[in-house]
Structure 1
Amino acid sequence: MTINIVCLFAILAYFLPNAYANTEDEKTFSIAKQNACLGCHAINKKIVGPTFAAVAEKYKNDPNAQTFLKNKIVKGGSGSWGVVPMPANTKLNDAELSAVTNWILRGAPNKN
């Protein structure tokens, strides 16, 4: 009986963080989709802007990456990835910006 309880807790400890991450990733993907991010960006396919995977790779060792990307999303601009300007997105609140930039810096994981 004790072994069964220990096994149950071990299984929960393994799967629970993944379930939470998937739910958060799905919410963040939805925020990105609702705010037109996916019109120019994709996870692993270049559209107009860089892929989210490429952004994650470029900034993976930059401790200021999240602040930089939040600013880039809010103000827009050009020059980081070419001449096509990224329009400003002022509709996202700080919590949404944090979620989206964290998601992007993790390579934009999504179950889809």
Structure 2
Amino acid sequence: MKYLVLGIVMIGLSSFTIMTPEVKYTKVETVSTNMQTSPGEKLIAKSDCVGCHKLDKKLIGPSYLEIANKYPANEKTVSYLSDKIIKGGSGVWGTIPMGAHASMKKDEAKTIVQYIMSLKK
């Protein structure tokens, strides 16, 4: 009889336990944008340009926006700035020289400059 009462009490007590709701985890999908990275942006990202230049803030050198707004958007500017990237230089933006990028191909430098000039406001 003692075991019967104990069994009934246990069943009764277990019916009052708090049931936690089942937690389901769902996979979060990343949102992709339709914005494409330009070839010039890709070349910049792979180079050491990001160590001295930013899109909209002066770092060691001028921002890309400052460069775009300083020069006219034409083929002469693209050629001039491409040569500056490859050969390096100083004096235009201050006393800190830009190092040469002698291993960069002329068409890569032009692609970078064309991207920078596309930022012109």
Is this a same-fold pair by TM over 0.5? yes
Are residues 77 and 104 of structure 1, via their aligned partners in 2, closer, same or farther at CA, if it must alter by over 3 Å? same
Contact kept, 8 Å, 1:44 with 1:53, in 2: the verdict is yes
Name which of 51, 70, 87 aligns with 1:75.
87
Contact kept, 8 Å, 2:86 with 2:101, in 1: the verdict is yes
In the TM superposition, residue 92 of structure 1 has moved relative to its aligned partner by 1.7
Contact kept, 8 Å, 1:43 with 1:107, in 2: the verdict is no
Answer 1 or 2: which has greater helix percent.
Answer: 1
1:37 maps to which residue?
A: 49
Amino acid paired to 1:58: K
The answer to whether structure 1 residue 103 and structure 2 residue 120 are counterparts is no
Are residues 107 and 71 of structure 1, via their aligned partners in 2, closer, same or farther at CA, if it must alter by over 3 Å? same
Give the Cα separation in 1 of the matches to 2:114 and 2:71.
11
Contact kept, 8 Å, 2:40 with 2:113, in 1: the verdict is no
Name which of 28, 36, 46 aligns with 1:22.
36
- Which moved further from structure 2: 69-78 or 86-95? 86-95
Contact kept, 8 Å, 1:66 with 1:98, in 2: the verdict is yes
- Which consecutive unaligned segments of at least 5 residues does structure 2 have? 1-33
In the TM superposition, residue 62 of structure 1 has moved relative to its aligned partner by 5.6
In the TM superposition, residue 82 of structure 1 has moved relative to its aligned partner by 0.3
Q: Deviations over 1:6-40 (max 9, x none)?
A: xxxxxxxxxxxxx6x834x1x32221122100100
Amino acid paired to 1:90: A
1:49 maps to which residue?
A: 61
For 1:8-19, list aligned pairs within 5 A.
none
Identity of aligned residues (%): 31
Q: Report the number of matched residues.
A: 87
Give the Cα separation in 2 of the matches to 1:61 and 1:29.
18
Give the Cα separation in 2 of the matches to 1:63 and 1:99.
12
Give the Cα separation in 2 of the matches to 1:107 and 1:51.
11
Give the Cα separation in 2 of the matches to 1:94 and 1:77.
16
> Any runs of at least 4 consecutive aligned residues in structure 1 with deviations exceeding 6 A, and if so which?
none
Does 1 or 2 have the higher relative contact order (CA < 8 Å, sep 6+)? 1
